[in-house]
């Protein structure tokens, strides 16, 4: 994903899913963020010129999902989180869990709820938290190790609802709504719609709203709410396998 172009911020994701048995799927996904090269500065050399460092954030997720019946589906994710700079790092684990209920004569009604980023606190550690100080009374130099405060994970609850309108044998209009309760940021309400043609082509649009999102002074997110995308799925072979291309776009402007 390309965001904040010109800042050297890159977000890369990879995932792989594999069916396990008749009703279960196991998946592995990796997401990494890099922030480019940042000049190293110190109290003695605030102008830099002594090298640079590159912060990296990453998480590795292992997920298991199961079909309990024709209407009820559930899943669980174990996530390993890592945040590092040149001399300080933090790592932790988190869990996601969700359940989905599908009903209707054509399975056109969907409801789901998910709890994400639940886990113990994270703590930063490393040489960057130590500092050489001089004791004034005798001129002795010692290393002072500082302790990082615990970091709470940004847990959230996501509730979603969807209804599909079957236009004819090949065309379908999918609508959805969601509510997200965030622990450290403003709650969000989202609406979306997707047009599907014969499971070969999808065109999507959505809007995610939060309080004061249109206020350039008081808003707390760079995202302005609008989003869109399209997908093309090409069938291969006789076992309904497909190769898919997905493109998504979200609008934002700097805070």
- The whole model's pTM is what? 0.80
Between strands 72-84 and 89-103, the pairing is antiparallel
Question: Residues 92, 84: contact at Cβ < 8 Å?
Answer: no
**Which residues of the chain form beta strands (DSSP E)?**
10-20, 24-34, 38-39, 52-53, 56-67, 72-84, 89-103, 109-118, 130-134, 141-145, 156-166, 171-182, 188-197, 201-210, 223-236, 241-252
For the chain, give the percent of residues with pLDDT over 90: 61
Query: What per-residue confidence (pLDDT) applies to 18?
Result: 94
The pLDDT tens digits of the residues spanning 96-141 come to 999 999 999 889 999 999 999 999 999 988 888 877 777 776 667 7
Query: What per-residue confidence (pLDDT) applies to 128?
Result: 82
Q: From CA 14, how far away is CA 29, in angstroms rounded?
A: 6
Query: What per-residue confidence (pLDDT) applies to 220?
Result: 86
Residue 153 class from Cβ within 10 Å (0-12 exposed, 13-18 middle, 19+ buried)? Answer: buried
Query: What per-residue confidence (pLDDT) applies to 138?
Result: 66
Query: What per-residue confidence (pLDDT) applies to 102?
Result: 96
Dihedral class, residue 3 (left if φ above 0, else alpha if ψ from -120 to 50, else beta): beta
Q: Where are the alpha helices (DSSP H) in the chain?
A: none
The pLDDT tens digits of the residues spanning 131-168 come to 777 777 666 777 777 788 888 999 999 999 999 999 99
Domain ranges of the chain: 1-120, 154-255
Q: Which residue has the tokens 């206020």?
A: 215
Mean pLDDT of 198-205: 94
7 has pLDDT over 80? no
Mean pLDDT of 74-102: 94
Phi, psi (deg, nearest 5) at residue 127? -65, -20
The pLDDT tens digits of the residues spanning 36-78 come to 888 888 878 888 888 888 899 999 999 999 999 999 999 999 9
Q: How far, in Å, are 7, 46, 85, 126 from residue 41 at the CA level?
A: 19, 5, 14, 17
Query: What per-residue confidence (pLDDT) applies to 100?
Result: 97
Query: What per-residue confidence (pLDDT) applies to 197?
Result: 95
Residue with the larger pLDDT of the pair 233 and 144: 233
Dihedral class, residue 157 (left if φ above 0, else alpha if ψ from -120 to 50, else beta): beta
The pLDDT confidence band at residue 211, using thresholds 50, 70 and 90, is very high
Structure tokens given for 43:
């109290």
Query: What per-residue confidence (pLDDT) applies to 222?
Result: 83
């Amino acid at each position: 994903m390309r965001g904040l172009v010109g800042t050297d911020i890159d977000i890369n994701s990879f995932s792989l899913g594999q069916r396990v048995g008749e009703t279960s799927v196991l998946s592995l996904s990796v997401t990494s963020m890099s922030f480019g090269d940042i000049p190293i500065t110190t109290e003695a050399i605030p102008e830099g010129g002594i090298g640079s460092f590159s912060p990296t954030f990453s998480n590795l997720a292992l997920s298991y999902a199961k079909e309990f019946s024709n209407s009820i589906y559930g899943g669980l994710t174990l996530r390993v989180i890592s945040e590092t700079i040149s001399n300080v790092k933090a790592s932790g684990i988190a869990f996601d869990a969700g359940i989905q209920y599908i009903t209707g004569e054509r399975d056109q009604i969907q409801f789901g709820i998910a709890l994400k980023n639940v886990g113990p606190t994270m703590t930063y550690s490393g040489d960057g938290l130590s500092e050489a100080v001089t004791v004034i009374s005798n001129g002795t130099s010692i290393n002072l190790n500082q302790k990082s405060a615990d970091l709470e994970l940004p847990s959230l609850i996501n509730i979603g609802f969807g209804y599909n309108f079957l236009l004819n044998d090949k065309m379908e209009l999918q609508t959805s709504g969601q509510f997200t309760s965030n622990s450290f940021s403003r709650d969000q309400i989202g609406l979306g719609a997707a047009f599907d043609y014969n499971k070969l082509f999808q065109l999507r649009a959505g809007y995610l709203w939060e309080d004061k999102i249109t206020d350039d002074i008081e808003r707390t997110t760079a995202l302005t709410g609008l989003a869109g995308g399209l997908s093309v799925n090409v069938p291969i072979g006789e076992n309904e396998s497909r190769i898919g291309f997905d493109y998504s776009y979200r609008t934002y402007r700097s805070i």
